Structure 1
């Protein structure tokens, strides 16, 4: 179905169900500003505009850490947007508890979201006291490493099939003047990389004991020390990256200035915009090729309460539109993420998306950290990893001690 046909179908189905009496402008805030992200957002805007309403884009540059405080300030300060992105999990819990978010249960029940969203852990983050307050729109996983195939051809080596093979190639990469591992300067990037190492090298059980059970003894134990030592190696290999944003680091891999990047599957959108083909120009390793698993994080949209009833109607229309089958496919193919609907046609999926879908089908999944730890705890842990990453004088043992102390009192 082409976009014009999709537009007409969406307009008819949404208007009939929720009666948008007139065209309504709805400001939507988010932090998707890279090339691949902008292409994905455009698909959401097209689908919503097709209903007769208008998506007013409120992109905030700088990533989630910059955007979330701005979004929260506007909502609590009486200047709410029509809809806003948060990561799926606990980031908006206090806003919901304060009664500032619109209940979208009407749409959720009419559309049977509890039956089509997979895995169920995604929508459970949206449900409070039996009421729905958000719409999960994708499955994003951190558990990936992206590699430029041409770089390894340049050094006369096959593309690594796992982390250990990559580690063995690092000396040759450095000798050729290639950055082994590209990592941007923002704290969430090094924190996310650390989490990937924890799952891939320590295993799912270790990750769950620390992040779900909040076991401080395990967090301070020998297995976690191995992760900190691996992270110390990685920070040494990445020190010449010298860029701030994650997509700038991705571009270093795309252009062959760096060999690899550990980053969530949203990085795939940048490769797509650059015209690169999965399996030919670049390779993706889920779980670093060691523990193939998908973390079921992602993004959800919330709908701050409005005084204008027409905007409230438009919010319900947008909620339905976001989970429409065609919208799910169009958005996620551009975003690099997996759809939350298990009943959509993904014949156009590329090599990396197919790997993710197969892992999801096997049930090799774990929750995202934002679903198991409070924003406060997440922020404290991120601060520890950020300092460790950028201060080479901090030893793995010192960083681990601070990390375990936070887990001991985590909520």
Structure 2
């Protein structure tokens, strides 16, 4: 199904052609497709370009705007089908394996070996970067998705405390609502609904059942009593979200917390960039804490680049240098300081990072050992885009229709996932 879907998508754009690459006057050149087009991400791309050029290789920027990467993927399919793919493209999760399965990607095993990737990267990350045991992609960072962002001033005014459990969350939300503030800032978009639902599922189901449901797609796990309870808890949140939520972008919701209009937001660590841009200090102006009931657990999302087969030997050499540079400690520091995420290297010097990042890295390492480091399905790491989309539909339809029961929705979830496999 996955192979057919991608082949179909590629065929749809097969008639579109693009111009060939022009070589720079250097040892080789890489063309890099990405959607780092704003803020700290654009700065990071510029740093990577300079680092590559300092090693004698050229960088041809192939930036396609669009935060989710949909436009970039459309362009990539056009280029790949015309026999003119870029050297590297920003691709993540199961899409990496789909491109590799179609024969487009090259192996990076020699670079991985010389750079000791197996020693400095956690296995749950390297598994995503490999196809049939061979490295075909490079991770750039790690995002923790199960974060709770809180405004301590609002909590103080409401006489509430930042929650660590689900019951504490409900108690705090009631006090905050009574004090005239919005308890939970949220944007009514499918992926944001899924992000919050995922945090509730992790708390209710635990990591083992979470993985059985969202990674292994076990029907018993998907249809379990714990899943029913997850949906019931998820719906409880509606009473703590304001009526203007539908269609709101995530960063607007974050700014509601920054400005003291709302007390909390459940969102990945990219939200930290909004607090930083507003000149806020963690632990003083805002609090970063695990989503209620998920302390010690870590749902991860990874930005990564997949590497395409090239014919020119000099460009292939530049490509391998790019792969090495992305995982260099220097670039890992620069990029993740800008992005709000944490380095993917377990041996990274974390002294330049703030307390939120330090807490995130500590949990990343401990969860890697305990088995509580799990891929985020809501952000495309645990499953395919087809299954992700099917779950999105079930979750957001339930959240927006109070007439539908949790039991009926769980039955629908089991069928929807099966149909998308």
TM interval, short-chain normalised: 0.7 to 0.9
Q: 1:27, 1:81 within 8 Å by CA — same for their partners in 2? A: yes
Once the two structures are TM-superposed, the CA of residue 225 in structure 1 deviates from its matched residue by 1.2
1:86-105: CA deviation from partner (whole Å, max 9, x where unpaired):
22x31121211111123222
Q: 2:390, 2:417 within 8 Å by CA — same for their partners in 1? A: no
98-107 vs 24-33, greater mean Cα deviation: 24-33
Once the two structures are TM-superposed, the CA of residue 278 in structure 1 deviates from its matched residue by 1.3
389-398 vs 281-290, greater mean Cα deviation: 389-398
Matches within 5 A, 1:234-273: 234-238=237-241, 239-273=243-277
Paired positions, count: 390
Corresponding residue number in structure 1 for 2:374: 367
Matches within 5 A, 1:73-152: 73-87=78-92, 89-117=93-121, 119-152=122-155
Distance 1:140 1:105, change over 3 A: same
User: Can you give the 5+ residue segments of structure 2 that lack an aligned partner in the other structure?
Assistant: 1-23
Match of 1:333 among 337, 356, 377: 337
3-state SS of the aligned residue for 2:172?
helix
Corresponding residue number in structure 1 for 2:410: 400
Distance 1:251 1:45, change over 3 A: farther
Corresponding residue number in structure 2 for 1:169: 172
Is the aligned partner of 1:299 residue 2:303? yes
Corresponding residue number in structure 1 for 2:61: 56
Distance 1:129 1:63, change over 3 A: closer
Distance 1:72 1:259, change over 3 A: farther
CA distance in 1, matches of 2:38, 2:240: 25
Is the aligned partner of 1:318 residue 2:322? yes
Distance 1:164 1:351, change over 3 A: farther
Distance 1:33 1:54, change over 3 A: closer
CA distance in 1, matches of 2:32, 2:129: 18
Is the aligned partner of 1:379 residue 2:389? yes
Distance 1:283 1:34, change over 3 A: farther
3-state SS of the aligned residue for 1:146?
strand
Once the two structures are TM-superposed, the CA of residue 339 in structure 1 deviates from its matched residue by 1.4
Once the two structures are TM-superposed, the CA of residue 188 in structure 1 deviates from its matched residue by 1.7
Once the two structures are TM-superposed, the CA of residue 207 in structure 1 deviates from its matched residue by 0.9
CA distance in 2, matches of 1:25, 1:48: 9
Corresponding residue number in structure 2 for 1:15: none
- Structural RMSD (CA): 2.7
Once the two structures are TM-superposed, the CA of residue 293 in structure 1 deviates from its matched residue by 0.7
Once the two structures are TM-superposed, the CA of residue 291 in structure 1 deviates from its matched residue by 3.9
3-state SS of the aligned residue for 1:367?
strand
Is the aligned partner of 1:188 residue 2:191? yes
Corresponding residue number in structure 2 for 1:278: 282
CA distance in 2, matches of 1:23, 1:276: 44
3-state SS of the aligned residue for 2:91?
strand
CA distance in 1, matches of 2:238, 2:75: 31
Distance 1:258 1:50, change over 3 A: farther
Once the two structures are TM-superposed, the CA of residue 57 in structure 1 deviates from its matched residue by 5.1
Distance 1:317 1:410, change over 3 A: same
CA distance in 2, matches of 1:54, 1:332: 21
3-state SS of the aligned residue for 2:95?
coil
Once the two structures are TM-superposed, the CA of residue 218 in structure 1 deviates from its matched residue by 3.0
CA distance in 1, matches of 2:278, 2:347: 29
User: Can you give the 5+ residue segments of structure 1 that lack an aligned partner in the other structure?
Assistant: 1-19
Q: 1:321, 1:327 within 8 Å by CA — same for their partners in 2? A: yes
CA distance in 1, matches of 2:162, 2:133: 49
Once the two structures are TM-superposed, the CA of residue 227 in structure 1 deviates from its matched residue by 0.7
282-291 vs 65-74, greater mean Cα deviation: 65-74
Once the two structures are TM-superposed, the CA of residue 163 in structure 1 deviates from its matched residue by 3.8
TM-score normalized by structure 1? 0.85
CA distance in 2, matches of 1:251, 1:39: 22
